[in-house]
Amino acid sequence: MFLCPVIRTSHRCRYHASMKIYTKTGDAGSTSLASGGRVWKDDRRIDAYGTIDELNSVLGILATEPVPEGVAARLAGIQDALFALGAFLADPQGRLDSDPSRWDPSPLEGWIDEMEQNLEPLRSFILPGGSRAAALAHLARAVCRRAERRVVAISHDGAGLEREIAYLNRVSDTLFVLARWLNHRLGVEERPWPGLRQT
């Protein structure tokens, strides 16, 4: 579960120096939002930022692989942005400071363009796999798509999350291209799906 390192005092949020891991307040199946109030743990908002937490964890595993230093730094940047996004979603009343520039997809698009310069154009669907690092990038991509769907579900309630949805969409694009790039760098051939092909 995503943990937001803030506590509320007199309608203001401040960072707390130490967080107690077990509070027993959620033992009955409910949890607190960062901006106050309690909801059930299967609430759509909890599901959304919980899935973002899952994505962040998979990226943490990917970052332990022997990927190039530049890739590791960019993955760390995505992790930071995702944590901030989780905090934003946990704060429906907007009581926490948030920096929308963290979810600017432009840097990701630039990275995608850089990686694609070294890749052959896709002519068929490819199956996830290849090197371990690439397989983890594919796993992260699939979790990211699920996170995107969860945030879209919240947006139907009028939450206005177009910027956040666009960022998650671009993260999944980035992870797909990263998986291809990692396999290419290691000399591992992609496995095309022998179904539909572009001619």
- pLDDT recorded at residue 192: 85
Among 133, 130, 144, residue whose Cα is nearest residue 54: 144
Report DSSP state, residue 162.
Answer: H
Q: What mean pLDDT do residues 1-26 have? A: 50
pLDDT band per the 50, 70, 90 thresholds, residue 12? very low
Query: Above 60 in pLDDT, residue 196?
Result: yes
The verdict on residue 32 lying in a domain is no
The verdict on residue 4 lying in a domain is no
Query: Above 80 in pLDDT, residue 107?
Result: yes
Lowest-pLDDT choice from 16-25, 28-37, 114-123: 28-37
Answer whether 99's CB lies under 8 Å from 84's CB.
Answer: yes
The verdict on residue 68 lying in a domain is yes
Query: Above 80 in pLDDT, residue 78?
Result: yes
The verdict on residue 86 lying in a domain is yes
Mean pLDDT, the chain, whole residue set: 83
Residue 160 identity (one-letter amino acid): G
Integer Cα distance of 52 and 2 in angstroms: 8
Stated as kind and residue range, the H or E segment containing 15 is strand 12-15
Contacts of 110 (CB under 8 A, 6+ apart): none
The verdict on residue 69 lying in a domain is yes
The verdict on residue 170 lying in a domain is yes
Q: What mean pLDDT do residues 186-196 have? A: 85
Residue count (the chain): 199
Integer Cα distance of 98 and 91 in angstroms: 10
Lowest-pLDDT choice from 4-8, 25-29, 64-68, 146-150: 4-8
Q: What mean pLDDT do residues 151-168 have? A: 90
Query: Above 70 in pLDDT, residue 93?
Result: no
Number of structural domains in the chain:
1
Token couple for 108: 């990701």
Q: What is the pLDDT of residues 44-73, one digit of tens each?
A: 787 898 999 999 999 999 999 999 889 999
Range of the domain at 168: 40-96+104-189
Report the CATH number at residue 141: 1.20.1200.10
Q: What is the pLDDT of residues 40-51, one digit of tens each?
A: 456 778 789 899
Report DSSP state, residue 148.
Answer: H
The verdict on residue 14 lying in a domain is no
Answer whether 174's CB lies under 8 Å from 113's CB.
Answer: no
Radius of gyration of the chain from its Cα atoms, rounded to whole angstroms: 19
Better-predicted residue by pLDDT, 87 or 39: 87
Answer whether 173's CB lies under 8 Å from 105's CB.
Answer: no
Better-predicted residue by pLDDT, 33 or 156: 156
- pLDDT recorded at residue 144: 98
The verdict on residue 12 lying in a domain is no
Q: In this structure, what is the dihedral angle of CA atoms 142, 43, 78, 92, given to the nearest 10 degrees?
A: 150
Q: What mean pLDDT do residues 84-105 have? A: 81
